[in-house]
Structure 1
Amino acid sequence: MAESYLVLDQVAKSYPRPGQPPLRVLDGLDVAVEEGALLSILGPSGCGKSTLLNIINGLDDATSGTVLLAGKEVTTKTRSGVKIGMVFQQPRLLNWRSVRENVALPLREMGLGTDEIDARVRRYLDIVGLSEFSNYYPLQLSGGMQQRVSLARGLAIEPDLLLADEPFSALDEISARKLRQEFLRIWDRTGTTILFVTHNIREAVFLSTRMLVITARPARVHLDLPVEVPYPRRPDDDALFELEKSVTRDFMRMEEETGLTEIGS
């Protein structure tokens, strides 16, 4: 069996609170992800998904446990040893810079030469279907197009791992549906390993090779489920719909049990 590409080994995170016990956010997460996977992470609001992404991204350290990416430990001190791309809920583009300049910005920070930067910008704008808009400015684009620029920027560094934090949640459903299809096309073309955080069970089922459902804080793995429906997928596929219903029932049951536990405590 091939070695896992991303490994979370008993990752836990607590924050100190004056005069109170520490606030436990993550409670010993054990996850192993294969290279090229598209893993969705679902959980209740406030369960620690953003904290987990920050730890994987090397922006925060776990209280205990380790994160390994391609065999390298990721911490705040070692994050420069790996390349991790990020796509956010909002595009976070610089409105006074052109599309081309926005995608080039992290490449300049990496110290790449001009020819390499130009080649990568052209390649990834072509992949997201925005080559003809390279000289436009963000405010001249639709919300969906801005998010595709953000995706091109995240991919242009040719990351070891791409973290997507609810990238379509601010879009209307029609735009989001189109971008999910585009996202799968881009993932298939690039082969990038992706962690995709979402509150949308239908979205997770449609996109993922695998789904990870985590509990309310302190977060633990509640469900680790492969999505074995073959690609390309259709939103109206009965197999996806049945899986969505099953995960929804399980998710609601988990939240009910968590609520009962909190009342009992």
Structure 2
Amino acid sequence: MATRASSSLAPTLLLWALSFFAVRRALIASAQSLPPPKYDGFVYAEHPVYSGTIVIEAFLDPVCPDSRDSWPPLKQAVDYYGPRVWLVVHLLPLPYHDNAYVASRALTIVNMLNTSATFPLLELFFKEQVKFYNAQTLNMSKASVVSYIANFATQVVADSLKSAVVSGFENTLTDLKTRVSFKYSASRGVFGTPTFFVNGFSLPDSDSTTSYSGWRSIIDPLITAQGDPREENFYFL
């Protein structure tokens, strides 16, 4: 009798096991968002990139005062060098800045709608950053903060896109893309802002504000060491 009962249970147990692993695999697949279909970050200026282009990656938090202070000299340096330097900004919303994630999500939404408005919004966040510090929104609900930041972000887009910015916070894709940016920062070992990488290598003491002259002292020797860029092959990213 025991043998017969065991044999009758075998197909049921097998089906249960197969169902369990199928569901588990489906859950893992649905939660898997890495690697993303596109390299993370906002490109500061679209121009041809060749093998000698100096690549700067900046990890910034739109509600971080140090990120705010580091941006003007970095922007000045990148504008000075033009196509010799390629800048990508990665968002790292720090958990102790209460509104950093919502602000980062606003930047993601605006970037998806109009890439030319991304950096104006980042600079607007920096300019009026005090509005989004922890103490200023302490007595606001989460929904109120989201609405406040969504409406703030509409200042940099056309009137026809304002409703799209607000509704973007209801789109799970914008949440996913913002999370991917955070995960990318973590994968690079970045835990503070601002943090800078040049040609893939972290700058010493890059968590402190770098001056324009400081950026020149970093980039000039790299350009000198490259020689004539016309000898290199061009690639387009």
TM-score by length of 2: 0.28
Whose Rg is larger? Answer: 2
TM-score by length of 1: 0.26
Considering fraction of residues, name the structure with more helix: 2
Considering fraction of residues, name the structure with more strand: 1
The structure, 1 or 2, with the larger RCO (C-alpha pairs under 8 Å, 6+ apart) is 2
